[in-house]
Structure 1
């Protein structure tokens, strides 16, 4: 077959890598490339932002699959299915970073079952989806998961291309060998953890938005039928029971307008059907039906939320316009509806507090402070406004797993003497263009603070009354006043309540950035610790 007669237009490496940092700009350029009609007869487009090249044998393999499809008209996207395998943290992390990686968790999150990589798109569908508005993303690497059909019947999983060696075909033994030896070149070697840590937030927030606006611009109606269970009580290694007053059943309204009718259950067991699995604990099963895709020019408003929140999420930000939207999206994706989000803008100069996305839910409250006073000041001001019995601290460049608030609140409910609930976390490395890249899962190892080094608890859900009982985050003066507030508050609370409540699975995603205040000030820790020890009095720093 001649190149001009190909069934598939190859758009791998169609947009420069530097544009990945701006998903909207990236999508607009991809639209321009598609509208050039390089191959107008090509009904399918090969595209994934992580892919930079595809070999001719792989293209032939994909074209043969298309030719053998009996009735492909309803299929909009084809995803590559790679054999799931246990994470090989050491091997992949050294590949990404050339340095020692984070140790894997003692109970790492189970894979969703399939490491699905969207690769082939029907041309008209791709153009339509790229043209609509979409919610914040950490980078364009994850754009495919934002624009995939919500109807799993429109997604077809195809086997990964066969691997070849000089001695013949090679068996797919791990995701690592699949992605690196499949005839496809990648910017990064995709891992299930890398994809699932982000795709879970995308899937859950898209599901909620669609359910909040049935019939909007195309009559999108997601009907969740019997046998489809969506819940944060998914059994992933360890079983966590949900509590903290969440009533889940017929007619439950989930904060941002999601109403789940009869036949949708949340609990500690999940019935897994033949649907496409996108994330930790999120499965879009065959009970979901779709009319047509939604074109969203504005975010559908959530109904008024008059109930007292159980969890107050505090987010202190300064010049974080680029990353704040994704952090907020992870809050909107929470399976636990009884939250409020208090954002404290500490005199930002980049329009952080003016993001339109911050107006998308009445549970979000923005408070502006000027001039810049530092994170401790902002957090304590927000604490005075918080209404929840628990306070969850979130940084503007980090994000929450959709089940974070539910699992941490349930853990705290089960440990009435604890001042802090914490757990395992995902560790990511911030990059300039590719967004955060997965480094590994950090298990719960307790709080450490000695003269040599410190490792504060991450995440941190506080019992509000106990946090207020020590006066909030310790206020300090001097050169180190804006450093190590996380260590100081943990030291103060654990001195009086030494046993935290623990969730043994990643519920928080932490991004390391070389230009952050904590990273730049790390060398000052020994002097700070010495001064901290001198100032200890009555169980917490004065």
Structure 2
């Protein structure tokens, strides 16, 4: 079974080879890799051309249509029975595709909606888990609550399922992976592989770290979906906290207030709102890091 792997990139040559090498190292060898370059001026074209492997292909996207469009174009330029995605600074463990395909095969005979999506765990470079164990089966409500980790690099999707729901929503500058899973979970079963088979990159160049992008995505989602109050609270808190972390405290506070009105138990939003009172962004960062440190210690004690 051929897996079409799509890798969107732009000006990331310094980390791109690691992502490509992690695909080359897959124990499941029946794959094709489409690198979609969003107009890089660095050595990305030469780097990709240097791989003497017919399974690795390069496509250039010179318009500014964004990462969702790049992924959709990469899928359209491929023909595998399954599609998977890896971001340019992420890394796959060698067994990633093999184990996910096996999990989907094992789920084929179960009753209910077709199993069409496998997802796995993710960790930081030093091994700290970024996701908790996932759910399998009909996960629609869990996805709506944002209780299913839906990072793009962790997904393996049957092509027919991906195409039937219309692929990534190209209006979304972020949250596009979660929104895709919202639509997929309406029609198909998900299969969780709890092992952390993806290492998240830490290059610092992340479109989701921009408050304006998050705010734009939330606006689009508000037009399309009725979601639990706790989900909206989490989305709004993400926007507010991101604004504050970039020093835009005045822009972030209204989102944090909205989040707390929807879910007064959201302590991250409460802490962020408290620490975003007039003062320096540096003080905000230090205070929030203290909150996260306490949370990490509490989680460690609970394990």
Q: TM-score, normalised by structure 2?
A: 0.63
2:117 equivalent in structure 1: 420
In the aligned structure 1, how far is the partner of 2:64 from the partner of 2:130? 34
Q: Is the 8 A contact 1:313 1:394 kept in 2?
A: yes
* 1:78-477 superposed matches below 5 A: 310-355=2-47, 358-416=50-108, 417-428=114-125, 437-440=126-129, 442-446=131-135, 448-450=143-145, 456-458=149-151, 459-476=154-171
Does residue 1:508 correspond to 2:201, yes or no?
A: no
Deviations 1:338-383 (A, max 9, x none): 1111111111122322215642311101111112321111111111
Would you say the 8 A contact 2:173–2:214 is kept in 1? no
- Rounded to whole Å, the distance in 2 between the matches of 1:455 and 1:500 is 10
Name the CA shift for 1:526/1:472 in 2 (closer, same or farther; >3 Å): closer
Q: Distance in 2 between matches of 1:527 and 1:314?
A: 27
Unaligned runs of 5+ in 1: 1-308, 429-436, 536-542
CA RMSD of aligned residues (A): 2.4
CA distance in 2, matches of 1:474, 1:341: 22
SS of match in other structure, 2:120: strand
Residues 456 and 520 (structure 1), Cα distance of their counterparts in 2 relative to 1, 3 Å cut: farther
SS at match of 1:488: helix
Alpha-carbon separation, structure 1, partners of 2:148 and 2:106: 25
- For 1:170-227, what per-residue CA distance to the aligned partner results, in whole angstroms no more than 9, with x for missing partners? xxxxxxxxxxxxxxxxxxxxxxxxxxxxxxxxxxxxxxxxxxxxxxxxxxxxxxxxxx
Higher strand residue share: 1
CA, structure 1 residues 385+424, in 2 after alignment: closer, same or farther (shift >3 Å)? same
**Larger RCO (CA within 8 A; separation ≥ 6):** 2
* Cα displacement (A) at 1:529: 3.5
Q: Give, in whole Å, the separation in 1 of the partners of 2:205 and 2:47.
A: 23
Aligned 8 A contact 2:3 2:83 in 1: yes
- Offset of 1:449 from its aligned partner? 4.2
- Quote how far apart the aligned CAs of 1:527 are: 3.6
The answer (yes or no) to whether the contact 2:25–2:94 under 8 Å persists in 1 is yes
The CA distance in 1 between the partners of 2:117 and 2:147, in whole Å, is 17
Deviation of 1:514 after TM superposition, in Å, equals 4.0
Alignment partners' CA distance in 2, 1:414 and 1:533: 32
Structure with the bigger percentage of helix:
2
Distance in 1 of aligned mates of 2:19 and 2:197: 13
Distance change >3 Å, CA 368–CA 515, structure 1 → 2? closer
Q: Could you tell me how far apart the structure 2 residues matched to 1:486 and 1:441 are?
A: 16
Q: Distance in 2 between matches of 1:357 and 1:400?
A: 21
Cα-to-partner distance string for 1:445-477 (whole Å, 9 max, x where unaligned):
355445xx786424100010111111211232x
1:356/1:471 Cα in 2 relative to 1: closer, same or farther (>3 Å)? Answer: closer
**Structure index of larger Rg:** 1
Instruction: Please give the alpha-carbon distance, in whole angstroms, between the structure 1 residues aligned to 2:81 and 2:49.
Output: 26
Q: Secondary structure at the match of 2:209?
A: helix
For residues 59-70 of structure 1, the aligned pairs below 5 Å read none
Q: Separation in 1 of the partners of 2:107 and 2:149?
A: 20
Q: In 2, are the aligned partners of 1:424 and 1:443 still within 8 Å (CA)? A: yes
Number of residue pairs the alignment of both structures matches: 212
Q: What pairs with 1:495-534 in structure 2 (closer than 5 Å)?
A: 495-497=186-188, 499-521=189-211, 523-524=214-215, 526-533=218-225
